């Protein structure tokens, strides 16, 4: 079986930074609990690894991040995730005298600065992102004039007073999905200004998917089930190779050997929050077949 390994793979710089910051917090605050509010990155293997270092991830789908933060002890050591966080959390942490480590990816911070600048100049902002994703929630929290849209239906429903709103996006979206939404937005708001903010790590991985060999019969896309950049890679793979089966897996344990029966060309693609060792283990598993 021919195995094609898409590059780049392994963590992006934002993920490396976030994991290192959480570990630094752990090393510095000996003997006290260290909490991460939400998933540091959307990969369960990474979260398990942090747990093995004594770092607790605080998550509950029924509760908002603000509620979860309020429930933590005063003066707790808290790490905010790579996706960015809602503005209100800073004030809660300040009131509770928490020690905060902010692992927001610098690409996300740049995105927020652009949005804030628009809001300061009385512009409205159309933010293309995934509803309920922490990065989109963080962007939305910057002001009432940030309008989150996810699909064409949202564009149709959107009413703005600004004739030239800024259009910006979550950093990990699929290029094809984004381009289609830009077209819809421009057809409704002809003077809208487009800022394409897909981050480089996401863009390079998507371009690599576009270059997958045409003879590929199966693509494994490795990454967390909630990982937006991994979802975008799977989306791109499905659109680029419509006849090819695309399967998302977290790690080698999720490979179903039956899926490989009779195949000659398999490709392996991995998200920006997928550990390099996980990708290597998937490749080893495929080689064993």
- Name the residues that contact ligand SF4, by CB under 6 A: 12-15, 82, 105, 107-108, 171-172, 199, 201-202, 229, 272
Q: Whose Cβ is closer to ligand SF4: residue 25's or residue 218's?
A: 25
Nearer to ligand SF4 among residue 202 and residue 278 (C-beta): 202
Residue 215 is among the residues annotated as catalytic for this protein? no
Shortest Cβ distance from residue 152 to ligand SF4 (Å)? 25
Q: Which residues sit opposite 5 in a β-bridge?
A: 268
In 3D space, the residue among 15, 77, 6 whose CA is nearest the CA of residue 228 turns out to be 15
HSE on the CB side for 226, CA within 13 Å?
17
Contacts of 192 (CB under 8 A, 6+ apart): 126, 164, 165, 166, 167, 185, 186
Measured from the CB atom, the residue of 169 and 251 that comes closer to ligand SF4 is 169
| Rounded-to-integer distance, Cα 39 and Cα 26, Å | 16
| Least distance CB 272 / ligand SF4 (angstroms) | 4
CB of 2 to ligand SF4, least distance (A): 29
Which single residue brings its beta carbon nearest to ligand SF4?
14
Interatomic CA distance for residues 283 and 221, integer angstroms: 12
Do residues 139 and 102 touch, judged by C-beta distance below 8 A?
no
CB of 230 to ligand SF4, least distance (A): 10
- What size, in residues, is the chain? 289
CA-to-CA separations, 11 to 14, 43, 91, 205, 276, in angstroms, rounded = 8, 11, 31, 11, 7
Output the smallest distance, CB 14 to ligand SF4, in A: 3
Q: Tokens at residue 21, please?
A: 């910051």
Which entry of 118, 135, 177, 197 is annotated as an active-site residue?
A: 135
CB of 184 to ligand SF4, least distance (A): 24
Q: Which residues are within 8 A (CB) of 170 and not within 5 positions of it... i.e. 6 or more apart?
A: 127, 128, 129, 130, 133, 135, 136, 139, 197, 228
Contact 278, 248 (CB under 8 A): no
Q: Which residues are registered as beta bridge partners of 169?
A: 128
The nearer residue to ligand SF4, 68 or 272, going by C-beta atoms, is: 272
Query: Among residues 38 and 217, whose Cβ is nearest to ligand SF4?
Result: 38
Helix (H, G, I), strand (E, B) or coil at 44: helix
Residues designated as active site:
135
């Amino acid at each position: 079986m021919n195995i094609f390994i898409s590059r780049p793979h392994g963590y992006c710089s934002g993920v490396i930074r976030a994991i290192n910051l959480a570990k630094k917090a752990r090393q510095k605050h000996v003997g006290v609990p260290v909490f991460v509010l939400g998933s540091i990155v959307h990969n369960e293997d990474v979260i398990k690894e942090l747990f093995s270092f004594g770092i607790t991830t605080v998550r509950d789908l029924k509760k908002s991040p603000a509620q979860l933060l309020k429930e933590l002890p005063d003066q707790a050591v808290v790490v905010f995730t790579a996706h960015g966080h809602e503005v209100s959390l800073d004030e809660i942490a300040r009131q509770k005298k928490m020690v905060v480590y902010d692992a927001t990816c610098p690409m996300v911070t740049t995105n927020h600065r652009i949005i804030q600048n628009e809001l300061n100049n009385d512009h409205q902002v159309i933010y293309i992102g995934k509803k309920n994703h922490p990065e989109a929630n963080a962007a939305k929290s910057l002001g009432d004039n940030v309008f989150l849209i996810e699909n064409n239906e949202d564009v149709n429903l959107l009413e703005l007073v600004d004739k030239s709103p800024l259009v910006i996006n979550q950093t990990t979206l699929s290029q094809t999905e984004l381009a289609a939404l830009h077209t819809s937005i421009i057809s409704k708001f002809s003077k809208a200004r487009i800022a394409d903010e897909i981050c480089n790590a996401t863009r390079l991985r998507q371009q690599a998917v576009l270059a997958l060999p045409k003879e590929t019969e199966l693509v494994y896309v490795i990454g967390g089930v909630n990982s937006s950049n991994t979802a975008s890679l799977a989306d791109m793979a499905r659109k680029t190779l419509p006849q090819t089966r695309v399967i998302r897996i977290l790690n080698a344990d999720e490979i179903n050997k039956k899926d490989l029966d009779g195949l000659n060309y398999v490709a392996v693609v991995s998200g920006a929050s997928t550990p390099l060792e996980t990708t290597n283990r998937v490749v080893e598993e495929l080689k064993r077949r």
